[in-house]
């Protein structure tokens, strides 16, 4: 009997590494992996000779801005940009209005995604209402999220009321979330230290984008290191699965490595701006606040990169953070006035593929960081995150030889710009497939709003059943 779709002639990056194989899909799942040229007959056959078939990319950290801030981005533009970047699952962050910290608000927000998302999705719920944690956890979320930041000089992206930095309150949240069994994502930040650091800069009259960058990196990253050190103690005491966001300093890497060596439930992500943008002074001079999520001195880069390569850090997630020109431009004079953050969801896979082409990491390792590990950490594996029998037919099909100078004209995000403009990349997504359907085809977004479904965590039994199915076929 003919299958629905056959991807024929490509180099398929499986968990074992790249192999020449045909991939057969029916009913939205992978039903066959055969030697090249031996795939079954199919209702649609797509010749992917010369291309690499990767599992769909899973971005567990994206700011889609809907509801509340849709002048920056919305679910349709954000998930379309993601589709063009090879992403098949995108997880939204809760700094929207109203923030999803009650079951009712989260339900309404999921209803928006159901109507609008072009790819599969989930939402990381805000954990600021302790009494709501059990109800939120029942709604199929992958994780909770806490910001420790309180904005000064602006009211976004960390709106009043969203930051939690009191250790006692944090500890209560850790304990409450531990009981749900879900992971807790945290943006580490020592607000008390940051407050006095900022005051010193302002007292000296230093307020421009350089001062902002330096304030965040003061004392060689002390606001990050102090926060992670505290968070790791609260993790040890509560036993929660702690997922540390924005890993970017050498000492944070060392602390995480030590905690993992003790077998503790500590995972982390690295963002594109740490690897390819903001930790380079030349980019900050050129782009001012447009290059700033957060800066630390360049010497930290190697430790973070090594952490990705040796498994100390688990994944690359975008922290895709679109802001308008009007919100970024004031940063040249006053860095604290610019909304912080950088968009990247359409570009980050290409930036990593360029590193693969440059021999900095293997394709297998890149796939672990982009797909397999996010799926494992957030319990989507083995339904998602790998090309194996029984898994969802989610693919990022990459032309590893295609070259492009990144530019603003191709940007799908509503913000209309990329801080990576002018950067030459080699290795571009050509097609993106979600559960057997093309959402990005020959370089064009073809997915429909409402085509995505919620990607929910698997129970241990579901995961075991899928693992057994892959072996038995
Ligand atoms: O740079 C950032 N941008 N950091 C955050 O914590 C939030 C994000 C945003 O929403 O723009
Ligand atoms: Zn973020």
CB 293 near ligand 1, within 6 Å: yes
Q: How far is CA 280 from CA 275, 277, 406, in A?
A: 9, 6, 18
Query: Which helix H or strand E contains 438, and what residues bound it?
Result: strand 437-441
- With both helix axes pointing from N to C terminus, report the angle between 218-238 and 209-216 in degrees, rounded to the nearest 10: 40
| DSSP per-residue letters across 138-207 | TTT-S-EEEE----SSS-SSS-TT-B---HHHHHHHHHHHHHHT--EEEE---HHHHHHHHHHHHHTT--
| DSSP per-residue letters across 431-449 | EEEETTEEEEETTEE-PPT
CB 340 near ligand 1, within 6 Å: yes
- Region 75-80: what's the mean pLDDT? 99
Q: Which atom of ligand 1 is nearest to the CA of 293?
A: 1
Confidence (pLDDT) at 116 = 99
- With both helix axes pointing from N to C terminus, report the angle between 250-261 and 218-238 in degrees, rounded to the nearest 10: 20
Q: Which atom of ligand 1 is nearest to the CA of 147?
A: 6
DSSP class of residue 118 equals: S
More confident residue, 64 or 163: 64
Confidence (pLDDT) at 265 = 98
Ligand nearest to the CA of 293: 1
Three-state DSSP class for residue 6? strand
Asked if 89 and 121 touch (Cβ cutoff 8 Å), the reply is: yes
Confidence (pTM): 0.98
Report whether pLDDT(252) > 80: yes
CA of 341 to the centre of ligand 1 (A): 5
Q: For residue 386, say if its preceding peptide bond is cis, omega within 30 degrees of 0.
A: no
Separate counts of helices (H) and strands (E) for the chain = 16, 18
- Region 109-119: what's the mean pLDDT? 99
What's the CA gap between 324 and 417, in Å, rounded? Answer: 8
Among residues 232, 202, 231, 229, which one has the least CA distance to residue 215? 202
What's the CA gap between 136 and 71, in Å, rounded? Answer: 27
- Region 304-312: what's the mean pLDDT? 98
- Confidence class of residue 472 from pLDDT cuts 50, 70 and 90? low
**Four-CA torsion 57, 412, 418, 185, nearest 10 degrees:** -40
CB 241 near ligand 1, within 6 Å: no
Report whether pLDDT(98) > 60: yes
What are the pLDDT digits (tens) for 198-245? 999 999 999 999 999 999 999 999 999 999 999 999 999 999 999 999
DSSP class of residue 338 equals: S
Structure tokens at 421: 């403009």
Structure tokens at 167: 């250790």
Q: Which atom of ligand 1 is nearest to the CA of 93?
A: 10
Report whether pLDDT(473) > 60: no
What's the CA gap between 296 and 214, in Å, rounded? Answer: 8
CB 176 near ligand 1, within 6 Å: no
Phi–psi pair at 405, nearest 5 degrees: -95, 115
Q: Give the least confident one: 146-160, 373-387, 450-464.
A: 146-160
Three-state DSSP class for residue 114? helix
Ligand 1, atom 10, lies closest to the CA of 157
CA of 107 to the centre of ligand 2 (A): 21
The dihedral sign for the CA sequence 374, 379, 382, 384: negative
Q: Which atom of ligand 1 is nearest to the CA of 149?
A: 6
Three-state DSSP class for residue 370? helix
Asked if 194 and 224 touch (Cβ cutoff 8 Å), the reply is: no
Percent of the chain with pLDDT strictly greater than 90: 95
CB 245 near ligand 1, within 6 Å: no
What's the CA gap between 292 and 321, in Å, rounded? Answer: 10
Ligand 1, atom 3, lies closest to the CA of 341
CB 72 near ligand 1, within 6 Å: no
Query: Which of 68, 97, 321 has the most ligand 1 atoms within 8 A of CB, as the residue to mutate?
Result: 321
Confidence (pLDDT) at 470 = 79
Percent of the chain with pLDDT strictly greater than 70: 99
CB 320 near ligand 1, within 6 Å: no
Confidence (pLDDT) at 227 = 98
Asked if 429 and 86 touch (Cβ cutoff 8 Å), the reply is: yes
Q: What residue ranges in 327-414 does DSSP mark as E strands?
A: 395-405
Phi–psi pair at 461, nearest 5 degrees: -65, -45
Structure tokens at 95: 């700094």
- Confidence class of residue 163 from pLDDT cuts 50, 70 and 90? confident
CB 86 near ligand 1, within 6 Å: no
What are the pLDDT digits (tens) for 402-437? 999 999 999 999 999 999 999 999 999 999 999 999
CB 96 near ligand 1, within 6 Å: no
Confidence (pLDDT) at 311 = 98
Confidence (pLDDT) at 5 = 98
Asked if 55 and 396 touch (Cβ cutoff 8 Å), the reply is: yes
CA of 5 to the centre of ligand 1 (A): 39
CB 95 near ligand 1, within 6 Å: yes
Confidence (pLDDT) at 151 = 78
Phi–psi pair at 87, nearest 5 degrees: -90, 135
Q: Which atom of ligand 1 is nearest to the CA of 341?
A: 1
What's the CA gap between 221 and 229, in Å, rounded? Answer: 12
| DSSP per-residue letters across 15-83 | TTEEEEEEEEEETTEEEEEEETT-PPPEEEEEE-TT-EEEEPEEEEEE---TTT-TTT--HHHHHHHHH
DSSP class of residue 85 equals: T
Surface-to-core class of residue 282, CB atoms within 10 Å of its CB (0-12 exposed, 13-18 middle, 19+ buried): exposed
Ligand nearest to the CA of 188: 1
CB 418 near ligand 1, within 6 Å: no
Among residues 410, 396, 346, which one has the least CA distance to residue 23? 396
What's the CA gap between 266 and 46, in Å, rounded? Answer: 41
Asked if 226 and 193 touch (Cβ cutoff 8 Å), the reply is: yes
Query: Which helix H or strand E contains 136, and what residues bound it?
Result: helix 133-137
Q: Which atom of ligand 1 is nearest to the CA of 292?
A: 1
CB 338 near ligand 1, within 6 Å: no
Domains of the chain: 3-54+387-402+423-472 (2.30.40.10), 57-377 (3.20.20.140)
What are the pLDDT digits (tens) for 52-76? 999 999 999 999 999 999 999 999 9
What's the CA gap between 415 and 315, in Å, rounded? Answer: 25
Query: Which of 189, 274, 341, 345 has the most ligand 1 atoms within 8 A of CB, as the residue to mutate?
Result: 341
CB 157 near ligand 1, within 6 Å: yes
């Amino acid at each position: 009997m003919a299958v629905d779709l056959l991807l024929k002639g490509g180099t398929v990056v499986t968990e074992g590494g790249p192999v020449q194989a045909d991939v057969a899909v029916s009913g939205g799942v992978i039903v066959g992996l055969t030697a090249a040229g031996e795939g079954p007959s199919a209702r649609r056959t797509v010749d992917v000779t010369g291309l690499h078939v990767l599992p769909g990319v899973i971005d567990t950290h994206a700011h889609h801005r809907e509801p509340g801030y849709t002048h920056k981005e919305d679910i349709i533009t954000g998930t379309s940009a993601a589709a063009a970047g090879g992403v098949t699952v995108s997880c939204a962050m809760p700094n929207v209005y109203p923030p999803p910290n009650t079951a009712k608000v989260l339900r309404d927000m999921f209803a928006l995604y159901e109507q609008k998302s072009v790819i599969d999705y989930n939402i990381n719920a805000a954990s600021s209402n302790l009494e709501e944690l059990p109800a939120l956890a029942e709604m199929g979320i992958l994780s909770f999220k806490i910001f420790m930041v309180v904005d000064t000089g602006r009211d976004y992206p960390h709106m009043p009321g969203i930051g939690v930095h009191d250790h006692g309150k944090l500890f209560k949240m850790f304990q409450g979330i531990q009981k749900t069994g879900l992971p807790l994502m945290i943006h580490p930040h020592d607000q008390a230290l940051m407050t006095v650091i900022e005051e010193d800069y302002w007292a000296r009259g230093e307020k421009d984008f350089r001062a902002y960058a330096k304030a965040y990196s003061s004392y060689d990253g002390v606001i990050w290191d102090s926060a992670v050190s505290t968070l790791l103690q609260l993790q040890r005491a509560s036993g929660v699965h702690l997922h540390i966001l924005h890993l970017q300093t050498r000492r944070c890497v060392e602390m995480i490595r030590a905690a993992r060596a003790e077998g503790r439930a500590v995972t982390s992500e690295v963002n594109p701006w740490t690897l390819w943008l903001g930790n380079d002074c030349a980019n900050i001079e050129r782009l001012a606040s447009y290059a700033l999520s957060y800066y630390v001195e360049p010497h930290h880069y190697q430790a973070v990169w090594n952490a990705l390569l040796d498994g100390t850090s688990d994944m690359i997630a975008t922290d895709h953070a679109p802001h308008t020109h009007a919100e970024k431009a004031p940063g040249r004079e006053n860095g604290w006035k610019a909304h912080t953050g950088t968009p990247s969801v359409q570009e980050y896979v290409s930036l990593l593929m360029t590193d693969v082409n440059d021999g900095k990491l293997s394709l297998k390792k890149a796939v672990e960081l982009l797909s397999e590990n996010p799926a494992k950490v957030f319990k989507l594996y083995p339904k998602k995150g790998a090309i194996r029998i029984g898994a969802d037919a989610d693919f990022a099909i990459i032309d590893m030889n295609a070259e492009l100078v990144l530019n603003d004209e191709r940007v799908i995000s509503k913000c209309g710009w990329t801080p990576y403009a002018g950067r030459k990349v080699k290795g571009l997504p050509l097609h993106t497939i979600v559960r057997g359907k093309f959402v990005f085809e020959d370089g064009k977004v073809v997915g429909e709003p409402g085509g995505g479904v919620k990607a929910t965590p698997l129970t241990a039994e579901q995961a075991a059943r899928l693992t057994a199915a892959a072996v038995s076929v």
